[in-house]
Amino acid sequence: MATPHVRTDSRSRERGSAPALVLHVLLLLVVLAQVVYLASRHRARVDLTSDGLWSTTSSTRDLLARLDKRLVVEAYFSPKEKLPVAVRETRAWADSFLDELVQLGKGNVVVQRFDPNADKAVKDKATRVGVKPLELRSQSSTSLSVDVHWQGLRFVYGGDKNKVVPQFAPGSSFLAEAVITPAIKEVITSQKRRIGYMEWPATNPQGAQAGPLGWNVLRTLDGIAKRYEFQNLKDEDGALLPDDLQTLFLFRPKDLTDRQKYVLDQFVVKGGTLVAFVDAAEYMVGPQRTMTRAPLALDAAGSSQKLTDQLLHYGIDWKPRLVADLSRDAFQPRDPVQGRFEYFAVPQLTPFGQQLSPIEYPYFFHPVAIDWKDAANDLAKDARGQVDKDLAEQYRKLFVPGMPSDEFVFQAWKQQKRGPGFYWPTWVGVRTKAGGAPDLPPDVAGRVLLWSSPLALVEDPPQSLNPIGFGDGQQRLDAYQKFAGKLRERLAAEPRQQAPLMAEVRGRFVSFFAGRERPKRPSEIKEAEAKKAEEEAKQAEAAAKQKDGEQTPPADKRAEDDAAAVATEAPAAERGDRPGRIVVVGDADFLRDDIVRGDHAQAGGPVSGRSAAPFFAQMLDWLAEDKDLVALQSKVATDRSLKLLEETRDPNADPRLHEQALRRKTTWLRALNVVLPGALLAALGLCVYFVRRAQKRTFLSSIG
Amino acid sequence: MRETLVVFRRELRSFFLSPIAYVFGILLVSVLLYYVSEGALQNGARASAEGLFATLPLMLVLFLPGLTMRMWAEERKLGTLELLMTFPVRIGQLVFGKFLACVVYLACVLALTLGLPLTLGAYGKLDWSPVLGSYLASLLFASSFVAVGMFWSSTTRDQMVAMLLSLVSLFVLYQLGNPQNVEYASDWMPAWLVDLVSGLSPHKYFVSIARGVLDSRDIVYFACFCGFFLYANALVLESRRQRG
């Protein structure tokens, strides 16, 4: 029998004694600590998320690549070790992102760090430039104190332009980038882009003293106001717009005179970009949410040309009618908890007491980024649930995606599968022939950018759209059921149709006023009237003098005077040299101050701030063709919500059956997931047990 | 290498022949999935396996000592350790072979949880790359705890003692990376010490990979952590052999 061979080497002999063992362990620790340290200095990382949530976007990289001067980042940071742990995490993100900026900047980005707590002069400077301290509570069993920490940034570009981020505490690299990249963009932008606007404020239901409701909040948002300069160009005298103005916004145009229409006409004919947020009616929200229609006339008294006709002339078909969308996808808040005031919530009795809960109000909805052709079968079902194949085929030909455009203004929205929320929107499409084919003027191209679902109802604006009335709980419920029932009845009776909600036309427009008399400015009219009166007076005086034997002044002198008055304005352009652009959005309410600010949140909405501000900002960049921040704006997580059961779009389906089916499926899936893996392993174990038992028996029987 | 593979095969076979491995596997997977599936499988919830990987570390802390306690202690109790020492393999190879077998066994157990991500993927747009990254992180995390458990198992012949020592040390290591504990410690410990101590916890590095970023720093940390405890394990066995 061979002696077992045991390998012993010199190293094992050395490790024999206790001190040697300890030394070994200590040396190993030192080596490993070095390895970990070196690894932290020379790191490589791969972002595994398909949305690139942990990577810098091309927006940041492109902006930094464009730097032609030095960008100094003054970081007013308290020492990290003195920060509370919660803030220390944000410092880690901030430091990591600043390091990345320096690397990407390739010498053009310099980060200078200052500790305002250590030096009074630095502290004074930080306060002076606008950095704000973080006042954090520190609590122990014996004391409570407020500690002042600093974590703000100041960007200085080329020595003169600067931008301050007063407090910078990002919770992730994405949030760090969302703050820093627009700040860099702002500081390196040489000049603001000028945008003109005209607004027709809405009636404030809180009374005249509270002031009219306009569209100021979004225009004055920091990120927008620093890059775009808005100028109010609503001139009562109807002066033509400046030639260097490229973009004009109209917020809920109404009471337009022919002269104002002429000003807009000349603007687009000469190559300007006109963006109009239009409403078919004005409904008052207010604390009681009366939803009563306020008077709104598109054309001023005495106006001979209709605004809708003018837009139709350019290729925009605006029907001043209301659109309601009865698709659940369209009017459901995306986030039932966070976004419950986005549309319409009312007090309801819940297990936790009376709370505001969202209800279905199809006049508030958003366009959904799905291809409605896919829903043709669901929508072609009859009351028994049978699919009408011919009708389904017809729907497949007719229906279009809710967000058909791939323009960058819609990228982020398409990823979220829904556009901004609209409130009492109106029909805005492109001019079509009888068969539905586009019927645009020569040299003009147009398209619809947003569509409702095919479960849309279109109607003339009713006087009241309050779904719940003003009674007690039961009366409100009855009123709501009546309101919802009427809408469903109408839906069952009317054919399926998609309503266009936003449209664009581009091209060389022919003037709407070509061949018509140029509308005069109010001042011109007054002047002409004054002149006429003066002339009449002169004539009367001359006649009186003629009687007395004096001579009248020559007639050509009077003609010269008239010509001088008319020559103050450029002649009307009938067709422009440059292509113009008209974008019309079928809602102005979603951008209005009270709805953006969330004035109605306490009453249960609507509140549009979460979608209106990003949409407006992205629209400005889109109109300006400024793609710098596109990648950053599009950096939103893909919608990954679980759909355990296909949502039926059949308007006749019973929602209770759907809920029961959903509950059954969820229970079944949970049971399967919990039981199956354990059962598989148990089955394997039993197989092994029986095989081994059989082997054992065979062996025992073989030996007798 | 050949010797390591021989040890690895022997150990892996013993795992699949031992009832304790099945009991461990069934309990771990069932308890984990029971707790996780309720939150994860909800209509309208985000298709994400984050819940699974948020719960897994604590489950490993609770269950792994039951698996690793027998690695050396049982060999000593049955007297097979001496026999093992007589084989023509280095102690390092023995330790690494056993470690590898345990990790592969754990990988098989972890693979049994794949049903949940597959279900999520079937009913929603699951982002698979971070899920696979999280599985890698879980395996690295489990490996580091196996190394710790094996080390304690090598120090005693009593499996219960080995289990208790592992349980306590793994729980402490896990809690060191818990942000609430770190915040509490920062009230009375110097900041550099808080950073150092929290930096020791594998939990911190697990979270870093599980969020969807594969960072070389985290991989190096796990390699060093496992390497240190496996080396300590080998040293203990070596000194025992020399003492006879």
**What are A547-557's pLDDT values in tens digits?**
776 555 554 55
User: Across residues A322-344, what is the average pLDDT?
Assistant: 81
**Which pLDDT value is given to residue A1?**
35
User: Which chain A residue has its CA at the smallest distance from B48's CA?
Assistant: A640
User: Across residues B202-229, what is the average pLDDT?
Assistant: 89
CB neighbour list of residue B222: distance below 8 Å, 6 or more residues apart: B140, B141, B143, B144, B202, B205
Confidence bin at B244 (pLDDT 50/70/90)? low
Specify whether the CB–CB gap between A156 and A162 falls below 8 A.
Answer: yes
User: Across residues A358-365, what is the average pLDDT?
Assistant: 89
**Which pLDDT value is given to residue A208?**
65
User: Across residues A537-564, what is the average pLDDT?
Assistant: 65
Model pLDDT for residues B1-36, shown as the tens digit of each residue: 788 898 899 889 988 888 888 998 999 999 999 988
Q: B68 vs chain A: nearest CA distance in angstroms?
A: 19
Please report residues of B whose CB lies closer than 8 A to that of A674: 30, 33-34, 37
User: Across residues A561-567, what is the average pLDDT?
Assistant: 49
DSSP-based three-state secondary structure for A542:
helix
Q: Using CA atoms, how far apart are residues A113 and A97, in angstroms rounded to an integer?
A: 14
Q: Do A80 and B191 touch (CB under 8 A)?
A: yes
Q: Answer with the residue of higher pLDDT: A627 or A482.
A: A482
Q: Answer with the residue of higher pLDDT: A382 or B55.
A: B55
Strands A161-165 and A193-199: unpaired
Helix (H) or strand (E) holding B10: helix B2-17
Residue B244 contacts A, CB cutoff 8 Å: no
Cα A354 vs. chain centroid, distance in angstroms? 32
Residue B29 contacts A, CB cutoff 8 Å: yes
**Which pLDDT value is given to residue A6?**
41
Please report residues of A whose CB lies closer than 8 A to that of B210: none
Q: Do A672 and B115 touch (CB under 8 A)?
A: yes
- Residues B91-119 as b/e (b if ≥16 CB within 10 A, e otherwise) read bbbbbbbbbbbbbebbebbbebbebbbeb
Q: Using CA atoms, how far apart are residues B187 and B172, in angstroms rounded to an integer?
A: 19
Q: Using CA atoms, how far apart are residues A88 and A696, in angstroms rounded to an integer?
A: 62
pLDDT at A166 over 70: yes
Specify whether the CB–CB gap between A445 and A503 falls below 8 A.
Answer: no
| Maximum average pLDDT range among A100-109, A325-334, A417-426 | A417-426
User: Across residues B82-98, what is the average pLDDT?
Assistant: 86
Model pLDDT for residues A439-477, shown as the tens digit of each residue: 999 999 999 999 999 999 999 999 999 898 888 778 888
Computed on alpha carbons and rounded to an integer, the radius of gyration of chain A in Å comes to: 35
Q: Work out the angle at residue A102's Cα, subtended by the Cα atoms of residues A101 and A104, and round it to the nearest 5 degrees.
A: 65
pLDDT at B80 over 70: yes
B17, B33, B46 member nearest A674 (Cβ): B33
Q: Using CA atoms, how far apart are residues B93 and B99, in angstroms rounded to an integer?
A: 10
Q: Answer with the residue of higher pLDDT: B56 or B84.
A: B56
pLDDT at A11 over 60: no
Which tokens hold the place of A565? 């008055």
pLDDT at B220 over 70: yes
Q: Which amino acid is at A476?
A: R
pLDDT at A582 over 90: yes
- Residues A524-536 as b/e (b if ≥16 CB within 10 A, e otherwise) read beeeeeeeeeeee
Q: B87 vs chain A: nearest CA distance in angstroms?
A: 7
**Which pLDDT value is given to residue A304?**
92
Please report residues of A whose CB lies closer than 8 A to that of B130: 48-49
Q: Do B29 and A643 touch (CB under 8 A)?
A: no
Q: Do A642 and B195 touch (CB under 8 A)?
A: no
pLDDT at A323 over 70: yes
CA distances from B235 to A62, A304, B229 (A): 54, 100, 10
Average pLDDT, chain B: 88
CA distances from A646 to A109, A326, A359 (A): 51, 18, 22
**Which pLDDT value is given to residue A549?**
66
CB neighbour list of residue B223: distance below 8 Å, 6 or more residues apart: none
Residue B136 contacts A, CB cutoff 8 Å: no
Q: Between residues 499 and 558 of chain A, which touch chain B (CB distance below 8 Å)?
A: none
Q: Do B88 and A7 touch (CB under 8 A)?
A: yes
Confidence bin at A652 (pLDDT 50/70/90)? low
Instruction: State the residue for tokens 């045991």.
Output: A6
Q: Using CA atoms, how far apart are residues A606 and A344, in angstroms rounded to an integer?
A: 6
pLDDT at A591 over 60: yes
- Residues B165-174 as b/e (b if ≥16 CB within 10 A, e otherwise) read bbbebbeebb
Q: Using CA atoms, how far apart are residues A172 and A181, in angstroms rounded to an integer?
A: 14
Confidence bin at A357 (pLDDT 50/70/90)? confident
pLDDT at A344 over 60: yes
Q: Do B191 and A12 touch (CB under 8 A)?
A: no
Residue A11 contacts B, CB cutoff 8 Å: no
Q: Do A643 and B123 touch (CB under 8 A)?
A: yes
- Residues A123-161 as b/e (b if ≥16 CB within 10 A, e otherwise) read bebbeeeebebbeeeeeeeeeeeebebbbbbbbbbeeee
User: Across residues A119-135, what is the average pLDDT?
Assistant: 90
pLDDT at A283 over 70: yes
User: Which chain A residue has its CA at the smallest distance from B243's CA?
Assistant: A16
Q: Using CA atoms, how far apart are residues A380 and A650, in angstroms rounded to an integer?
A: 8
Q: Do A48 and B89 touch (CB under 8 A)?
A: no
Specify whether the CB–CB gap between A376 and A395 falls below 8 A.
Answer: yes
DSSP-based three-state secondary structure for A444:
strand
B22, B33, B43 member nearest A666 (Cβ): B43
Specify whether the CB–CB gap between A399 and A498 falls below 8 A.
Answer: yes
Please report residues of A whose CB lies closer than 8 A to that of B45: 641-642
Specify whether the CB–CB gap between A576 and A509 falls below 8 A.
Answer: yes
pLDDT at A387 over 50: yes
Q: Answer with the residue of higher pLDDT: A430 or A58.
A: A430
CB neighbour list of residue A660: distance below 8 Å, 6 or more residues apart: none
Strands A109-114 and A193-199: unpaired
Q: Work out the angle at residue A226's Cα, subtended by the Cα atoms of residues A220 and A230, and round it to the nearest 5 degrees.
A: 55
Strand partners, A430: A316
Instruction: State the residue for tokens 């063992």.
Output: A21
User: Which chain B residue has its CA at the smallest distance from A17's CA?
Assistant: B239
The ipTM (two decimal places) reads 0.86
Please report residues of B whose CB lies closer than 8 A to that of A89: 179
Specify whether the CB–CB gap between A212 and A204 falls below 8 A.
Answer: yes
Residue B59 contacts A, CB cutoff 8 Å: no
Q: Answer with the residue of higher pLDDT: B200 or A88.
A: B200
A13, A85, A680 member nearest B179 (Cβ): A85
Q: Do A48 and B129 touch (CB under 8 A)?
A: yes
Model pLDDT for residues A222-231, shown as the tens digit of each residue: 778 878 889 9
Model pLDDT for residues A72-99, shown as the tens digit of each residue: 999 999 887 777 766 777 887 888 788 8
Residue B189 contacts A, CB cutoff 8 Å: no
CB neighbour list of residue A416: distance below 8 Å, 6 or more residues apart: A334, A369, A636, A639
**Which pLDDT value is given to residue A20?**
76
Average pLDDT, chain A: 84
Q: Which amino acid is at A84?
A: P
Q: Do B217 and A40 touch (CB under 8 A)?
A: yes
**Which pLDDT value is given to residue B34?**
92
Q: Using CA atoms, how far apart are residues B115 and B36, in angstroms rounded to an integer?
A: 12
User: Across residues A659-685, what is the average pLDDT?
Assistant: 89
CB neighbour list of residue A15: distance below 8 Å, 6 or more residues apart: A21, A24, B235, B238, B239, B242
Which segment of A622-626, A631-635, B221-225 scores lowest on mean pLDDT?
A: A631-635
CA distances from A551 to A304, A404, A628, B244 (A): 43, 75, 73, 145
Please report residues of A whose CB lies closer than 8 A to that of B29: 677-678, 681
Helices and strands, counts by H and E, chain B: 13, 1
CB atoms within 10 A of CB B128: 14
Which tokens hold the place of A275? 């963006």
Q: B215 vs chain A: nearest CA distance in angstroms?
A: 4
Confidence bin at A359 (pLDDT 50/70/90)? confident
Specify whether the CB–CB gap between B53 and B209 falls below 8 A.
Answer: no
- Alpha helices, H only, B41-90: 50-68, 70-78, 80-85
Q: Using CA atoms, how far apart are residues A226 and A222, in angstroms rounded to an integer?
A: 6
**Which pLDDT value is given to residue A4?**
38
Model pLDDT for residues A175-197, shown as the tens digit of each residue: 888 888 888 888 887 778 889 99
Q: B167 vs chain A: nearest CA distance in angstroms?
A: 23
